[in-house]
Amino acid sequence: MTARLDYFLWALKRALGNGVADVCPACGGSHLRIVRRKYGVTALRECGGCRLRFRTPKDDPGSAEAFYVDEVYKQGFTTDLPSDLELEGILAGHFVGTELDFAHRIKAISVAGLEQGSRILDFGSSWGYGSWQLTQAGYQVYSYEIGRARANYAREKLKCTTVSDLQNLEGSVDCFFSSHVIEHLPNPNLLFDAAEKTLRPGGLLACFCPNGAVERERKHPDEYHSNWGKVHPIMLTPDFMKGEAARRGFTQCAVFSNHADCSDIKSWRDGQLEGNELLLLARWKT
C-alpha cells in the first residue's frame, strides 16, 4: 500500500507541475492513444507512429539518471549487494535456482551464433551477476553500470571488467547484451544509440525486457499492467523493437518471449509472444 501511495503522490506532483510534454519519447510523435489509466493521474499511452508504449506523466531525463546513479533504485536481489558469505554461496551454486539465473539468456545468444571467446558488452550490469555468468560461459565481458556502488562491487567482488564510459571501450564488441534495462530508461533510444556505437559490423544485439506485446496483455492483463509505473516508464512492444532496429540499419531482427524455441532462434523466425519476457535479437549492419 505504501508503494502505491508513493507512486500516486509522485505521479500527482508530476501531473500538476509543468512536467514534460506528452509526446512520444522515442520518435516525438503526438498521435497517441491511452491504453490504460492507473490511479487516475497516470496512464500508459501508445504512439501511433513507432508503437512504443510509455507512462505519463513522463520523467525528466536528468532526474531519471540520478535515480540510478545515486543508488535510489532498489529492486531486491537484482540491486541489493550480497555479503561476502552470501556471495560465496551464490557463486558456488552458479546462480542456479535464483531469479538471476542467466542460463536461458546465455543459451539464446549461443544458439543465435555467438561463439565462446566473443566480446560482450553487458549494458546495465548492476552488481555483475550476469557478467559473471557470461564470463563463466566463455565470453570476454565488459560491464557497464552507472550505479557507482554496484559497479564497484562488480569489479571488486566478482572481478568484472567494468567500463565507466563507453567512449573508453577499446574496440568494438561482438554482442551488445542487455537484460531488463531498457524499460528503466526514459528514452529507449539511449540503448539503441549505445549499441550502434559499440557493435562491430555483423555484431549481435540481444535485449531482454518485460514483454509489451498485445498478445500478453490480452492473456494476462493484470500482470501486464503491473510492469509499468514509476521505475518502468516504458513498455516495449515487438513492433517498436523490430521497427526501431530496422530503422537504424540492423539487417536481421526477430522477437521471442520466454525460453524461445531453439529452431526459431536459429532461423530468425519470430516466436510466440504471450510470455512475460521479450527478447529482441538483431544483427548490426555489415
Question: 3-state DSSP call for residue 2?
Answer: helix
CATH homologous superfamily, domain 2-283: Vaccinia Virus protein VP39 (3.40.50.150)
- Exposed e or buried b per residue across 131-160, where buried means at least 16 C-beta atoms within 10 angstroms of its C-beta: bbbbbebebebbbbbebeebbebbbebbeb
Q: Which three cell numbers stand for residue 89?
A: 554461496
Q: Would you say 81 and 160 are in contact if contact means Cβ atoms under 8 Å apart?
A: no
Which residue, 257, 280, 241, is CA-closest to 53?
241
Residue 189 pLDDT = 97
Cα radius of gyration rounded to whole Å, the chain? 19
How far apart are alpha carbons 117 and 107 in whole angstroms? 15
How far apart are alpha carbons 25 and 55 in whole angstroms? 10
Residue 162 parent element (H or E): strand 161-163
How far apart are alpha carbons 144 and 123 in whole angstroms? 5
Q: How far is CA 167 from CA 18, 69, 138, 146, 259, in A?
A: 34, 18, 25, 14, 33
What does the domain layout of the chain look like in residue ranges?
2-283
3-state secondary structure 36-103: EEECCCEEEEEECCCCCEEEECCCCHHHHHHHHHCCCCCCHHHCCCCCHHHHHHHHHCCCCCCCCCCH
How far apart are alpha carbons 138 and 115 in whole angstroms? 9
Q: Which three cell numbers stand for residue 68?
A: 540510478
According to DSSP, residue 211 is labeled: B
Q: Which three cell numbers stand for residue 142?
A: 565488459
Q: Which three cell numbers stand for residue 145?
A: 553500470
| Residue count of the chain | 286
- Output the pTM of the full model: 0.91
How far apart are alpha carbons 126 and 95 in whole angstroms? 15
**pLDDT (tens place) for every residue of the chain, 286 residues total:** 566 666 666 666 666 665 556 899 999 999 999 999 988 889 999 999 999 999 999 877 665 555 445 455 555 556 789 999 999 999 999 999 999 999 999 999 999 999 999 999 999 999 999 999 999 999 999 999 999 999 999 999 999 999 999 998 989 999 999 999 999 999 999 999 999 999 999 999 999 999 999 999 999 999 999 999 988 999 999 999 999 999 999 999 999 998 788 999 999 999 999 999 999 999 998 7
